[in-house]
Structure 1
């Protein structure tokens, strides 16, 4: 850890300890996670350290292979053709690789969006995205703009790739007598530790009780997470969307798989220098903290916000539906390039890599689309019955 990283770690720890004191000695976990990831100038996603690729802490699909973004571009082209135009909005565009891939493929297909908009809160990441687009697609840079809030009106395609897993979550524990407890963060002799308190976060007791009514997460000692910020987020997105398709791509499970008895310590994971571990209280400001996505909750919140569920499938089936095999055949100019594409495709498609672990959920709004003829990405396998 260099001096700059050490200073961030010390300052963020002090910021969290001060908030613990302000809240009476126990800070709900979602607020801790929000500070650890997004505290201005200190949180992991805004402090400026490399995050993506070999020099960062993890690798996302666009860094693994340009085929990922090109496949999403095929889906975007279908939607933009149906709408006779429109925009693309990408949440949290990371390194900018996905935006580059989508724009270049749409340019080749003569189906560019009116605007490619990126909603990015981190000034550091905004700068990296601008640099990536200026270098790889300078002729398309003027078509791009950056936002820090949702637009008032939107028509087109919204993409959120590995966004939901980084939303702050509440954590809960079932007590020895079956009571519902909230996991909070406290300060013990200068060290951040966990404690279990009666539920303080609005809606947490009701949400866990609903799981109990479904026969889930009932055993004493069972711990897991619930994303109570999901519904307000999707409501805000729906308020902006007039016509379009929202694509949510992330690792996660339908609810019954998420809260199965064997997964009794939840799904919370941290990523630091390409090592995954389960301690969110170390490397503060320097490591990612994530939780898997309950896609049943996403579908329910989307429906309540005015969307229709357009499809749900694995990443592998989604990319196959978008024609990844054809893109591989037409993209490889040399044997070495063909080998690189094949290796990248394996990481995107294989069940032991990202193919089964990652899911794609689509939400339609205001769009006259024959759902009997699914969007291309959902045409290979429909898993909505598992939600």
Structure 2
């Protein structure tokens, strides 16, 4: 096997996803390669719109209310939230899509940008964004913990140098490796990315939604994976597939608090969405006789709710919600279901 260069995974992921010929720079959309909550059903956006209403109330109905979608993809979430929002709220809403890929045509009043706004007041949501923030992979070898190097063309690996002092400190606190062969994904860049969101939030709520794990249940061999055309594929960082890893959202939460968050909750998507009204309850059968059209619509909603809250699927996502100078919306503090 001819290897032209060995690089750390963080470098390889950065190039493969966001480089000049990277997966997302080419305009690939997540919905083309894996099923997201946003594209599974507009009911997800309806739940976000309910949260937006709560945030607006807590802020005292400001003349300008920001809605920032981080990793916006095609902008479907913003489009659907705008469709759900009440006219009075929509008139004050300033939707911003943060996306590195070329953006499609959409509502004229949506602002598209490649980086976070310097300051905003309202609601920020990052749905499956942090899992694509590049990071390094380390492994405990007989010679100690080593940063893994990867051949971008094949995905082959070999041990490299010791982690930096900053990475070692993060690992010691959040993902200690005890046995030879144990691996970890160093989430420090994701913590920094989430902290940047909270620092720019003046007042309001920020939510990160991702497959996640906590210190008590880190996977011993990591979660690095590739996705292409709806299937899991080897994580080869050559730009041909999405390369992703689950997120240490408990570590991100602490970074958010350092950045000024005044309240924090970690919950599941199932619990959050059910508290926001997506119960998946089937409509009463007698509705089919009284209003057949309403019955069919309610039945469709029940099926979509069930998919969004399925604990073995989309409902298994973790929500990290952090507010700044407002209370957390009550649905986000509901007990687990």
Q: TM-score, normalised by structure 2?
A: 0.87
Worse-superposed segment, 203-212 or 241-250: 203-212
User: Which position in structure 1 is the counterpart of 2:169?
Assistant: 206
Contact 1:49 1:286 in 2 (8 A): no
**Aligned match of 1:160 in 126, 138, 141?**
126
Question: What is the CA–CA distance in structure 2 between the aligned matches of 1:142 and 1:160, rounded to whole Å?
Answer: 22
Q: Secondary structure at the match of 1:311?
A: strand
Partner of 2:297: 337
Q: Distance in 2 between matches of 1:172 and 1:102?
A: 40
1:144 to 102, 110, 113: 110
CA distance in 1, matches of 2:268, 2:74: 24
- Relative to its length, the structure with more helix (as a share) is 1
Q: Secondary structure at the match of 1:116?
A: strand
Mapped partners of 2:74, 2:282: distance in 1: 23
Partner of 2:226: 270
1:182 equivalent in structure 2: 147
- Aligned counterpart in structure 1 of residue 273 of structure 2, from 319, 323, 336: 319
Match of residue 68 from structure 2: 89
List 4+ stretches of structure 1 deviating above 6 A.
Answer: 326-329
Task: Name the Cα RMSD after superposition.
Answer: 2.6
Q: Which residue of structure 1 aligns with residue 185 of structure 2?
A: 225
Give the superposition deviation at 1:231. 3.0
Superposition deviation, residue 309 in structure 1: 3.6
In the alignment, does 2:103 pair up with 1:173?
no
CA distance 1:192–1:145, change in 2 (3 Å): same
Give the structure 2 partner of residue 246 of structure 1. Answer: 206
Counterparts of 1:264 and 1:148, CA distance in 2: 35
- 1:358 aligns with one of 302, 317, 333: 317
For structure 1, list consecutive stretches of 5 or more residues without a partner in the other structure: 1-15, 21-25, 134-140
Determine the structure 2 residue equivalent to 1:66. 42
TM-score normalised according to structure 1 size = 0.77
Asked if 2 retains the 8 angstrom alpha-carbon contact of 1:311 and 1:382, the reply is no
Unaligned residue ranges in structure 2 (runs of 5+): 284-291
CA contact (8 A) 1:322 1:376 kept: no
Moved more, 312-321 or 340-349: 340-349
- Could you say what secondary structure the match of 1:229 adopts? helix
Q: Does 1:38 align with 2:18?
A: yes
Q: Report if the CA contact (8 A) 1:62-1:97 is conserved.
A: yes
Mapped pair 1:197 → 2:151 = no
Q: 1:280 aligns with which of 208, 226, 235?
A: 235
Q: Determine helix, strand or coil for the equivalent of 1:111.
A: helix
